[in-house]
Chains A and B, each alone.
Chain A
Amino acid sequence: MYGFGILKGLGVTLRHLVNSYVDDIKWGVSRYETTEAFEARQGPNARGVVTIQYPEEKMAVPERFRFIPFLVINDADHPEAPGDDWCTSCGICAKVCPPQCIWIERTNDPETGRPVPQPKNFYIDIDICMNCGYCAEFCPFDAIKMDHDYELASYDRTTRHVFDKDVLSKPVSYWQEIAPTRAEEERLGREAKEAAKGKKKKRKK
C-alpha cells in the first residue's frame, strides 16, 4: 500500500518527539540540574533530547582532551622557586611538532656563553598548531601539556595568535586541576625516576 512508508517515517519522528517529553517528565526539573541526570542523558542509555544547552551548560572535557599546548611552571607559592619554568629548552617538542609551530629561544649564560636549561622565549603559532599532542607526549620533563580551554575566539589574527612564553605559562596547580589522574601519575613517575637516580648516585659513590 502506498503511503505506508511515509506513515512509518512520520511514526518514527513522532516517537522521537514523544520520547523527549517522556524523559523530561520522568526526570522533572532535575533533568537539567543533577549530575545523575546529566550522566543519564549524556550516557549510552540516553533517551529523549540529547543536546547540551551550550553555553549555559558545557560538557566537561576528558583529561586527555587536547587543545593548544601550555607550559608548566611552578606555582606562585612554591617554597624554593616560585614561577620557575619546568621547560629546559631541550627542543624535543620543536623537533617532534608535525606542522613546526613551536619556536624556542634557548638562554645562554652571559659569561660563559654555554646554554642554560631554561627557555629565553617560547612561541607557539596557534594558527598552525594542529592539536596533535606530540609535544606533550614526548616531553621528557612533563613541562608542556595540552590545554583544555577551547574558547579562544579573538578579534585579531595577526597580533594575538602567536602565543609567547607569558601567555603559554600556566602553574602546575592548573594542570592538576584539569587532569588530576594524569598529573598524579606523572608526579609518581617523576618521584620514582628521582629515587632511581639517587640510588645510582649513591652506588657510584
Chain B
Amino acid sequence: MTEATPEQSTDTSDPIAYLQSKFGDVVSEDTRDGYSGIVVDPRQLVDVAQTIRDDLGFDLLSSASYVDYLEEGFFEMVYHVYDTRVGGSGLNFKTRTDREEPALPSLVGVWPSADFQEREAWDLMGIPFIGHPNLKRILTWEGFEGHPMRRDWQEPFYEEDAKPFGTRWPGGQVIRGEMTNPYGMNVQYPEGFTLDGWSPEGDDAIYAGLSTPETASGVDIQQIRTDQLVVNMGPQHPSTHGVFRMTVTIDGETVTKLEPVMGYLHRNHEKIGERNTWLMNMPYTDRLDYLASMSNNFAYAISVEQMLGQEVTERAELIRILMAELTRFVSHGWFIGFFLNDLGAFLTPSVYTITERDLILDLFEAVSGSRMMCNYFRFGGVAYDLPEYIGGPAVKPGDKARRLDTYKFLDDLINERMPRVLQELRDYLIDNEILVARCVGVSTISSQDAIAYGVTGPVLRATGIPYDLRRMDPYSLYEEFDFDIPVRYNGDLYDRFVVRVEEMYQSIRICQQVLPRLKETEGQNYWAGKRAYTVRVPKGEHYGHAENPKGELGFYLVSDGGANPYRYHIRSPSFINLTALEEMCKGYKVADVVAILGSLDIVLGEVDR
C-alpha cells in the first residue's frame, strides 16, 4: 500500500524537485539540523499548496502547527499533508512570517480543514490569516489579552519558563497560587480593565454573522413568510457531552447555519506542555481524550521514541497494543451507548454497553494504578509488567477483596465475554428499525468533503476511505497482526455507527492474537530504556501520529536539545472533526443535530485542550 500509485508520473515522486522545477526559488528544502520538509515563500503559499494537493495528490491536510522561533524572530506554520489513497509518511511544508508584523495567506480555500486550525493559530499565536472567512478567537474567550502560545507570553501564576521550578527544593515553602494574584483568581486582566464596562463582543459577532438573510437560488428568504431563528444549543446541554455550544440558525425546524463555539474547557495544554519536561507530559496526555487515555499515551510515546530513536521491547509493544485495542473497545462501546442516548433511548443502552468497560477499567486499574488517567506508557516501554492478579488486599472497613488471575481474566474477557456481548448488541441494534429510521440517509457527507474537512477516524471510514494509520503508516507491531479496516460507503449516521461496531470486532481480533504472544513473552523485559526521569531529545522536529478511537491523534514536537520540549502541538481528532459539523448539519432537523454531534463522538477534553 505504501507504493506510489501507477497514475502518478515519475516527476512527482520527489516532491521537492518537482515543486522547485515549477516554482523555482519560492520553494527550498529545510536544511536545519533535525528538520525535514519544504520551506515555502508565503507570497506564493496558496499556489504551492494547490499544486501539492492537485499534482502531488496530498489530499488530507492533517495538521497545521505553529511555532514561535523567538530568537530567530519569526513564526513558522508547519503543514502536514497526507495522501489518503496510499498513506505513508506524507509531506510537510512550512512558511514563515515576521514576529513583529505577522501575516500569512489562509489555506482554507485549498483545504477547508485549515479553518479551525488557522483560527487556533490566530487565537494562540496571533498570526492573522489573510482571506480566512471567519478569523476570530476559538479557544480562549473574546476578552482575552494577548496570544498565549508566544514564547514571551506569561500566564497569571508565572513562575519560570521550565519545570522543575527552583522554589520547590531545597528551600520549599508552600504557597498557593491564588495568594500571589491580586484578584485572588486565576485570571489576568489588561491594565485599566473592569468587568463592569465590558460587553461580550464575540457573542454579538456570532449572532450578527448568523442572522444575515440568505439568498438561496434567487429567492430572498425575507420575502417568504418564515422566520429564521438563532438558537443556542449548549454550553450546558445534555447532548453536547460536556461544555460545548452550537449556535444554530433554524428555518422552521431546518438548520441553515451552525457555528460551533468551544473553549469552555480550555486550559492551554500546549503551554503547560512546553513548561513540562518530556516525561511530565505523559500524564497530561491522559486528560486529552479521557475515555482513551492509553491511546493518547501510545501516540505521545511513539512520537518521542521516534525522535529519540528508542527501541521498544516486544513484550512492551504487545502490552501496548493490547491496552490500545481494549481502549478502542471501551471508547466505541461508550459511543454506542451515548449515541443511542442522543437518539432518545435514554440511558439503558449506555448502561449495557459500559458494563464491559467497567471490567476493562478494572484491568487498567490493576495494571497501571488508575482507571481512567492511566499514565502507563514510558519512552521505551511501559511502566510496569502485567500484574499477577487483578484485585487487591482488603484493608479498609467494608473492603471486599478479590484475586483473579490476570491471564485467566484476559482469556475470559477477550475470548468469551467481549465477543458475546458485542454479538448481543449487534443482534438487537444493527437492524433496529428506530435506529435505521433515525440514521439512514441523515447527515450524508461525501468522501471528498470528508477529506477536505480533515475528518479522520471512523467518520472518514464511513464515507468509503479505508484510511487507518495502523495500516496506512504502520507503527508498533500492527503489521504483524491480522485485522481488517471496516469501511462503509454512504457516510451517514448509520454507517458511522456500523463502522464503529465492526471496529470493535477487529479490536477483539487483535486482542485475541496478542494474548497468546503475551503468554509466550512472559517474564521478558517490558522497558527497554533506563528508568530515568530526564530525557534528552535530540534537536529537531517530528510529527508523530497514531490511530486513536476518535481519529488521528498527532503530536508535532520540536526539541532544542534541552530537557523540555520547545514546542508541543497536538492535532486532536475531535477538534478537527468538528470542522465538518456545519456541513453535516445543514439542511437537517434540529433533532438530528444532536445525533450528528453524537456521531462525531467528540470528547471535550481533547477539543478544548
Q: Is the CB of B434 within 8 A of A6?
A: yes
A91 proximal to B (CB < 8 A): yes
In chain A, residues 17-59, which have Cβ atoms closer than 8 Å to a Cβ of chain B?
A: 35, 38-39, 42-46, 50, 52, 55-59
Residues in A whose Cβ lies below 8 Å from that of B399? 58-60
Chain B 525-549 per-residue mask, 1 if CB under 8 angstroms from chain A, else 0: 0000001010000000000000000
Closest B residue to A163 by CB, please name it. Answer: B174
Q: Is the CB of B176 within 8 A of A96?
A: no
Closest A residue to B431 by CB, please name it. Answer: A5
Residues in B whose Cβ lies below 8 Å from that of A170? none
In chain B, residues 373-391, which have Cβ atoms closer than 8 Å to a Cβ of chain A?
A: 373, 375, 383-384, 387-388, 390-391
CA distance A11 to B429 in the complex (A): 12
Residues in B whose Cβ lies below 8 Å from that of A105? 170-173
Q: Is the CB of B348 within 8 A of A43?
A: no
Q: Is the CB of A61 within 8 A of B365?
A: yes
What is the size, in residues, of chain A's interface with B at 8 Å between Cβ atoms?
67
CA distance A179 to B176 in the complex (A): 32
CA distance A132 to B402 in the complex (A): 25
Residues in B whose Cβ lies below 8 Å from that of A132? 282-283, 373, 375
Nearest CB in chain B: distance from A171 CB, A: 14
B579 proximal to A (CB < 8 A): no
Q: Is the CB of A12 within 8 A of B428?
A: yes
Q: Is the CB of B373 within 8 A of A63?
A: no
B433 proximal to A (CB < 8 A): yes
Which residue of the partner chain, among A65, A158, A162, contacts B369 with CB atoms under 8 Å? A65
B238 proximal to A (CB < 8 A): no
Interface-facing stretch out of A75-83, A133-141, A186-194, A196-204: A133-141
Q: Given known contacts A13-B348, A61-B392, A62-B366, is B170 in contact with A91 (CB within 8 Å)? A: yes
Residues in A whose Cβ lies below 8 Å from that of B172? 94, 102-105, 121, 123
CA distance A52 to B362 in the complex (A): 13
A178 proximal to B (CB < 8 A): yes
Closest B residue to A42 by CB, please name it. Answer: B402
Residues in A whose Cβ lies below 8 Å from that of B401? 35, 38, 60
Q: Is the CB of B168 within 8 A of A60?
A: no
B276 proximal to A (CB < 8 A): yes
CA distance A48 to B142 in the complex (A): 51
Q: Is the CB of A96 within 8 A of B434?
A: no
CA distance A103 to B279 in the complex (A): 20
Which residue of the partner chain, among B176, B383, B417, contacts A45 with CB atoms under 8 Å? B417
Closest B residue to A15 by CB, please name it. Answer: B424
Q: Is the CB of B165 within 8 A of A8?
A: no
In chain A, residues 112-135, which have Cβ atoms closer than 8 Å to a Cβ of chain B?
A: 115, 121, 123, 125, 130-134
B208 proximal to A (CB < 8 A): no
In chain B, residues 152-207, which have Cβ atoms closer than 8 Å to a Cβ of chain A?
A: 159, 163-165, 167-174, 176
CA distance A82 to B163 in the complex (A): 36
A155 proximal to B (CB < 8 A): no
Q: Is the CB of B432 within 8 A of A43?
A: no
Residues in A whose Cβ lies below 8 Å from that of B173? 103, 105
What is the size, in residues, of chain B's interface with A at 8 Å between Cβ atoms?
69
Q: Is the CB of B168 within 8 A of A104?
A: yes
CA distance A148 to B394 in the complex (A): 11
Residues in B whose Cβ lies below 8 Å from that of A91? 168-170
In chain A, residues 60-74, which have Cβ atoms closer than 8 Å to a Cβ of chain B?
A: 60-66
Residues in A whose Cβ lies below 8 Å from that of B533? 92, 95-96, 134, 138
Which residue of the partner chain, among B282, B283, B384, B395, contacts A177 with CB atoms under 8 Å? B395
Closest B residue to A138 by CB, please name it. Answer: B533
Nearest CB in chain A: distance from B608 CB, A: 18
Nearest CB in chain B: distance from A29 CB, A: 15
CA distance A180 to B393 in the complex (A): 8
Residues in B whose Cβ lies below 8 Å from that of A43? 402, 404, 409, 412
Q: Is the CB of B276 within 8 A of A62?
A: no
Closest A residue to B362 by CB, please name it. Answer: A42
Q: Is the CB of A44 within 8 A of B283?
A: no
A143 proximal to B (CB < 8 A): no
B398 proximal to A (CB < 8 A): yes
Q: Is the CB of A106 within 8 A of B432?
A: no
CA distance A13 to B174 in the complex (A): 54
Q: Is the CB of B369 within 8 A of A66?
A: yes
Q: Is the CB of A115 within 8 A of B391?
A: no
Per CB-CB distance, the 10 closest pairs between chain A and chain B, nearest first, are: A103-B172, A91-B169, A106-B170, A44-B412, A132-B283, A5-B433, A98-B280, A123-B174, A64-B369, A62-B366
**18 pairs from A and B in contact (CB 8 Å cutoff):** A6-B434, A8-B428, A38-B402, A39-B391, A39-B402, A44-B359, A44-B417, A45-B412, A50-B355, A56-B398, A62-B391, A66-B369, A94-B168, A103-B169, A123-B172, A138-B531, A138-B533, A149-B396
Interface residues of A (CB under 8 A from B): 2, 4-6, 8-9, 11-13, 16, 35, 38-39, 42-46, 50, 52, 55-66, 89, 91-92, 94-98, 100, 102-106, 115, 121, 123, 125, 130-134, 137-138, 146, 148-149, 158, 162, 177-181
Given contacts A65-B370, A91-B168, 12 further A-B contacts (CB under 8 A): A4-B433, A8-B427, A35-B400, A42-B402, A44-B412, A64-B369, A94-B169, A96-B279, A97-B168, A100-B159, A123-B172, A125-B176
